[in-house]
Amino acid sequence: MKIAIIGTGLYSTALTYQLQKRKDNDIYLWTEQESLISKFNKSHKFEFLSKKAKFDSNVYLSNDYSTVLEDASIIFILVSSQFFKSTLSNIKPFYKKNTPIFVGTKGIDLETSTFFSDYTRKYLKCNSYTFFAGPTFASDLILEGPSYLTFAGSNQIGYKKLNRVLPETFEYQFTTDLHGLELCSVLKNIYAIGSGILNGLKVSDSVYYGYLTKITKELQTIIPKIWGEKDTLLTYGGIGDLLMTTNSKTSRNFTFGYKIGSKISQEEKAKYIKENTIEGYLNLQLILKFLNKWKIKNSMIEKIYQIVINEANPIILYDQTIEKNEIF
C-alpha cells in the first residue's frame, strides 16, 4: 500500500519509522527541503532523530507533490497549524476525493472560525477525513514500546485501511466525535500555557494538581457546547494528551507559559513568539470568543487570556486555582 505523508517534522518522520515495519507499505514523504532529500538518500536517516532510527528501502523522500500523492491509498497530513491551509492548497490539484485523509495537525482556522476538519472537507470535498491525537511524543515513536492514539471520523473506509497500515505496537481507538476530539487537542495547548505559568510562579504540587483537576472539569463543561460528547475526554486523545502536554517541560506552550510566570520582559516574550509556533497562543483569542458565545464565564482559559494577551499579573491564575467556589 502506498502511504503519502505530508511533512517531515519530528512527529511525521518518527511515525514513518513505525509505519515502515509493515513491509507491504511504501511510504512517500513530502518535504520542501532539497538538502534534506540529498542527505536522506545517502544515509537513510534524519539527523534530528535518534541516531538508531535507520529507515528502510520502502521509505522515499520527495519535494514533488505529484510523486508523493499519485496513487496513494492513504494520506497523512502532519504540518504546523500555521501552514495547514497552504498545504491543502498545494495538494488540491493532486487529491482524489475518495482517498482517506488522516490529520494530526491541531487547530481552528482563524479566518473562518471553523475546525480544520470542516474546512478541509469543504475545500477538498473529501469523503473520508479522520483526525487523530494521543499521548505519544515523537521520541516515544522511535522506541519499541506501545503508542496510544484516538482516531475521530465517520467514514469507515479510512479505518479499514488504517488496520492494514499501523504496526502491532500501536494501541488505538475510534470515536465519531470529531469536533470533541479536535477541541480537546486545541484546548490542551492553551492549558499547557497555564501549566507553564504556574510552574514559573513556583506553586506547590497541591496547587498545580488542583489546576489539572479544574481544567479537566472545564473540558467536561466545554465539550458539550459544540455538541461533542463528554466521554471523549476519557480517550487517549482527551485526558491522555491533556496530561502529557500540560506536564511536558519540552512543550513550546509550556515553555512560553513558564517564561511569563517567571516574569520575563515584554521584549523576551515577543522574541519567543516570533521564533516559535505556539499553538495555544495562536488560538487563545478565538477560543475566548467561543466561550463568551457559549456564556462560559470565570474559566481558566479566560485567566490565561488576561495574562498572555492583556498582560495581567500571572498571580491571577494562582488565585483562580485556589478559589473555593465551583467554576461556571
Rounded to an integer, what distance in angstroms lies between the CA atom of residue 92 and that of residue 70? 12
pLDDT at 92: 97
pLDDT at 233: 96
Q: Of the given ranges (88-92, 103-107, 186-190), which has the lowest mean pLDDT? A: 103-107
Contact present, 286 and 272 (Cβ < 8 Å):
no
Which three cell numbers mark 47?
539527523
Rounded to an integer, what distance in angstroms lies between the CA atom of residue 37 and that of residue 31? 8
Rounded to an integer, what distance in angstroms lies between the CA atom of residue 170 and that of residue 21? 12
> Can you give the pTM of this predicted structure?
0.92
Q: pLDDT-derived band of residue 326, with 50, 70 and 90 as boundaries?
A: low
Question: What are the φ and ψ backbone dihedral angles of 72, each rounded to 5 degrees?
Answer: -70, 140
Which three cell numbers mark 51?
541516531
Q: pLDDT-derived band of residue 78, with 50, 70 and 90 as boundaries?
A: very high
DSSP state of 223: G
Query: Span 127-137, mean pLDDT?
Result: 93
In whole angstroms, how far apart are CA 22 and each of 27, 123, 165? 10, 32, 7
Q: Of the given ranges (53-67, 96-110, 158-172, 246-260), which has the lowest mean pLDDT? A: 158-172
Residue 269: exposure state from Cβ atoms within 10 A (0-12, 13-18, ≥19): middle
From the list 203, 199, 208, the residue with the least C-alpha distance to 262 is: 199
pLDDT exceeds cutoff 60 at 328:
no
Antiparallel, parallel or unpaired: β 2-6 and 101-103: unpaired
Q: What is the mean pLDDT of the chain?
A: 92
Rounded to an integer, what distance in angstroms lies between the CA atom of residue 311 and that of residue 265? 11
Which residues 6+ apart lie within 8 Å of 261 measured at CB?
196, 197, 198, 199, 200, 201, 314
**CB pairs under 8 A, 24+ apart, for 152-157?**
152/176, 152/177, 152/178, 152/180, 152/181, 152/182, 152/232, 152/237, 153/128, 153/129, 153/178, 154/178, 155/100, 155/127, 155/128, 155/129, 155/130, 157/98, 157/100, 157/127, 157/128
Rounded to an integer, what distance in angstroms lies between the CA atom of residue 91 and that of residue 4? 11
Contact present, 22 and 165 (Cβ < 8 Å):
yes
Residue 103 belongs to what H/E stretch?
strand 101-103
The β-bridge partners of 101 are 75, 129
Q: pLDDT-derived band of residue 101, with 50, 70 and 90 as boundaries?
A: very high
pLDDT at 244: 95
Rounded to an integer, what distance in angstroms lies between the CA atom of residue 300 and that of residue 309? 14
pLDDT exceeds cutoff 60 at 327:
no
Q: pLDDT-derived band of residue 319, with 50, 70 and 90 as boundaries?
A: very high
Q: pLDDT-derived band of residue 82, with 50, 70 and 90 as boundaries?
A: confident
pLDDT at 53: 87
From the list 263, 267, 177, 260, the residue with the least C-alpha distance to 226 is: 177
pLDDT exceeds cutoff 60 at 249:
yes
pLDDT at 325: 62
